[in-house]
A and B are shown apart, each in its own frame.
Chain A
Amino acid sequence: MKRAVAVALLFLAFGVGVAQAGGGKIGIGAYGGLSIPIIQDDTGGGTIFGARVPLRFIPVVTLEPFYASSSLKDVEESFASGTYTRSGFDETAFGVNAILGSISGGGMKFYPFGGFGSYKLTREGSEDLKETGWDFGLGLGIPAGSSLSIQIRGEIDMIVTGDTSRKFGNVTAGLNYNFPMGGGGGSAKEQSAASATAPPTASSAAPGSPTPAAGAATGAAVAADSAGAAGQNAAETPAAAPAADATPAPTETPEIAPSGDKPSGGQK
């Protein structure tokens, strides 16, 4: 258990560092909801609470270490010998989820996720159950401000117990806060950049000035910016020849009308 916690903390510290260095995103969230046992006659449902730290290093996947705790209700059963109560489980879990895409920034986002972790089930009269568990589900991220988002999720947790498993359906709602990152970029930059890993210098460069391409996609974006800026410059200074036109403008000499009319055309 201690080793697992140490590994998780090491992973978290590493993830934060990589996210910060690589211009990724890091957040923190808390959540709560309902945990409902699936085909389990000997335990009731209850509430679940937890915390998670979404770490986004690359655009495709967000990794999310989590901790969860639930308290399940007792069950009452009637037998020939009377009505008896069996204590429900207390569950604690920690692990990591992998989320497809980003869960915050921009508009509403649907996303699938899956993960694994270490689960512990305890109750009166039984030995503690410590097993590996798996989870998967769907989530919905709703922006609630520049750095906040509401996360609504439905998931199934499967705690493997030999050849079978104990399964729980969880429905949770939570609030995530995204820490502002120097290179992380806000939603506007994320939407305009072709790649989220584009270095910040590309977007902060002066219009029209060439910048080195960081990648194929970034190079295309920069080229588009440069062409656009060049076009803009040409519109603002009509006397200047277009940058792409290497042919010098012909020099016109004013016509001298025999009748003394004013010359037409010519240089401006």
Chain B
Amino acid sequence: MKTLRWIAPVLALVLLITPGCILTSGQITIEFELGVITVTSSTSIESEDVDLNTISEYADHKSDLKGLADVAALGSFVNLGPDVGVELWMTPALTAYTTEALLKADATAKMLWGPFNVPTATTKTVDWDESARLFSAAGKAALITEVTGDGIFTVYAIGNVGVYSFRVDNGSLVLVLDAAQ
């Protein structure tokens, strides 16, 4: 059993040469509840302020965050008007726009997610896999910036057609944080 005496030094060498942040890292899921978002038209939209610092897992690992491993927007979408594709937008700063025009006029506003198509008079629940697919690359990049920044931003839900009316019940933003010490 000559190799037995080599086991400890070999393992020690592996631990020494492996960067610590790669060795001590993990993927942690957090949820921010968006509640109910009601949008009756393009001129009557609602905003939801997000403060990730209110979530203990985020606050505890904030200094260790390196990125986002996965992200999803979940909830039940109730269509109260014609067929619509629902989109989620965000502004890095806390804002309170009431119309789609004002929101899109903000140069910092970015589309995070969508469109999630909901037929007229239908309630549709988005599943996790599909929701993850609906996030745009630019949207993920913007979220990563927020997650690794101050963790405070504003989220909006709007339609991708001229006339729309819908409600998001039990909405939540699910983030899988990449953390490493």
Contact = CB atoms under 8 A, between A and B. Distances in A.
Contacts, number: 129
B107 interface: no
14 contacts: A39-B25, A39-B26, A42-B27, A79-B174, A81-B170, A84-B128, A86-B72, A86-B132, A112-B7, A125-B130, A163-B180, A165-B22, A166-B27, A167-B25
A126 B21 CA distance: 24
Interface stretch (B42-50, B62-70, B78-86, B159-167): B62-70
Interface residues of B, number: 45
B56 interface: no
Contacts of A84: 72, 74, 127-128, 174
Contact of A162 (B29, B67, B76): B67
A40 B26 contact: yes
Given A41-B27, A79-B172, A138-B7, A161 B128 contact: no
A75 to B, nearest CB: 9
B102 interface: no
Contact of B67 (A100, A126, A138, A164): A164
* Interface SS, B side: strand
A99 to B, nearest CB: 9
A111 B3 CA distance: 6
B178 A164 contact: yes
Contacts of B33: 79-80
A134 interface: yes
Given A84-B72, A164-B66, 17 more contacts: A39-B26, A41-B29, A81-B125, A81-B172, A85-B128, A86-B128, A86-B132, A100-B10, A111-B3, A112-B10, A114-B10, A124-B129, A136-B11, A138-B7, A163-B180, A164-B69, A164-B179
A126 B70 contact: yes
A93 interface: no
A113 B125 CA distance: 48
A79 B14 contact: no
A110 B127 contact: no
Contact of B3 (A85, A110, A125): A110
Q: Which 5 A-B pairs have the closest CB atoms?
A: A39-B26, A125-B132, A81-B170, A164-B25, A125-B129
Interface in B128-181: 128-133, 169-172, 174, 176, 178-180
B105 interface: no
Contacts of A134: 18
Interface residues of A, number: 37
B75 interface: yes
Contacts of A114: 10, 14
Nearest to A166: B27
Contacts of A166: 27, 69
A162 B14 CA distance: 19
Given A85-B128, A86-B129, A126-B70, A39 B11 contact: no
A125 B128 CA distance: 8
Interface string A201-227: 000000000000000000000000000
